[in-house]
Structure 1
Amino acid sequence: MKKIILLLAICLTIFSCKNESKTVEPNAEDTKPKIAYASFGKEITDTDALTAERMMEHYKNLKAGDTVNSKVKGKIIEVCSKKGCWMTLDMDGENQVMVKFKDYGFFMPLNAEGDVVINGKAFVSETSVEELRHYAEDAGKTEDEIAAITDPKFEYGFEADGVLLKK
């Protein structure tokens, strides 16, 4: 009887110590390539970001003073050459959006270019002549180009709290 119990204990020990490896097949969603981004401001992701063309549909329905929370993909046209405190994005080849950063809390690299995802509030505003001249000066425009600014501009704006810059 002792031999049977001893044999049973040895068998249980051998089977319980069996090192079994499980293989997991990759899920189609997991194999989707990840895009590398440099993050500025609030941590955001690129999921659910609107295309620039889709965002322009929203902009066209806004009046001066209206805002809408959104996340948008766009392409950088220009960045402030002094501090990186603003940037302009191309929306559809015809329209641009002036992006400023919430509470002046972060800045973009001066040489930033390419695709970005921005999160925050979209709005439509009228920009004064003085502010337009200030932006032209920051962008390094000539005195003649700055002096040629005489009318206020109705423009699309965005206050970003987070930005992802594609690496």
Structure 2
Amino acid sequence: MKKIVFLLTLAFSTVMFAQETEKKVGPPAGNALVGEVYGSQPSVTAEKNAIPAKKLQKKLKSSKKLENVAVKGKVIEVCDKKGCWLTVETDNNEKFFVKMKDYAFFVPTALKGKTVILEGNAETKVISVDEQKHYAEDAKKSQAEIDAITKPQEEIRFMASGIKVIN
């Protein structure tokens, strides 16, 4: 009987701890200062040879996927829930979506407005309506904006292995 009570107490405690931990999930704290790195440190070559975000678009027109590419751009949006994705603006005011490789790291919301170097893989993909709506909800878009998403959309997706703040 003592074993059963002990096991039930242990199970209950584990569930309560898991729920409490889940409530505290959010983007990591931090000020995203110049020189800070999230994920893997971008290579020296990546930092020297990072292409402007606008050139990424041009390169992806000739090749649907680029591996081990470094891109420099301005962060305009960060996921408020976990810091698990961000949006980068190109020089011509277009945007592309960045996710973290293997969901292995997150970024603080303070990264918004900063210029970064991203290292990873880029590709052009067709994004489903459901996925677009999911990220619109994460970004706290209005219900009208979410409801306006009615068809798949082709866009640039970047899978970052490392991000470094440079400005």
Q: Which category of TM-score, normalised to the shorter sequence, fits these structures?
A: 0.7 to 0.9
- Letter of the aligned partner of 1:80 in structure 2? C
Q: Report which of the two structures shows the higher radius of gyration computed on alpha carbons.
A: 1
**Does the 8 Å CA contact 2:129/2:151 hold for their aligned counterparts?**
yes
**Does the 8 Å CA contact 1:76/1:88 hold for their aligned counterparts?**
yes
Alpha-carbon offset, residue 111 of structure 1: 2.5
- Which structure 1 segments of 5+ residues have no match? 1-34
Distance in 2, matches of 1:85 and 1:161, equals 12
Distance in 2, matches of 1:36 and 1:116, equals 9
- Letter of the aligned partner of 1:82 in structure 2? K
The structure with the greater share of residues assigned to helix is 2
Q: Percent identity?
A: 40
- Letter of the aligned partner of 1:100 in structure 2? K
Runs of 4+ off more than 6 Å: none
- Letter of the aligned partner of 2:148 in structure 1? A
Alpha-carbon offset, residue 61 of structure 1: 1.4
**Does the 8 Å CA contact 2:53/2:91 hold for their aligned counterparts?**
yes
Partner of 1:103: 102
With normalisation by structure 2, the TM-score equals 0.73
- Letter of the aligned partner of 1:40 in structure 2? Y
With normalisation by structure 1, the TM-score equals 0.73
Distance in 2, matches of 1:53 and 1:98, equals 14
Aligned residues: 131
Distance in 1, matches of 2:68 and 2:95, equals 18
Q: Deviations over 1:7-42 (max 9, x none)?
A: xxxxxxxxxxxxxxxxxxxxxxxxxxxx94110101
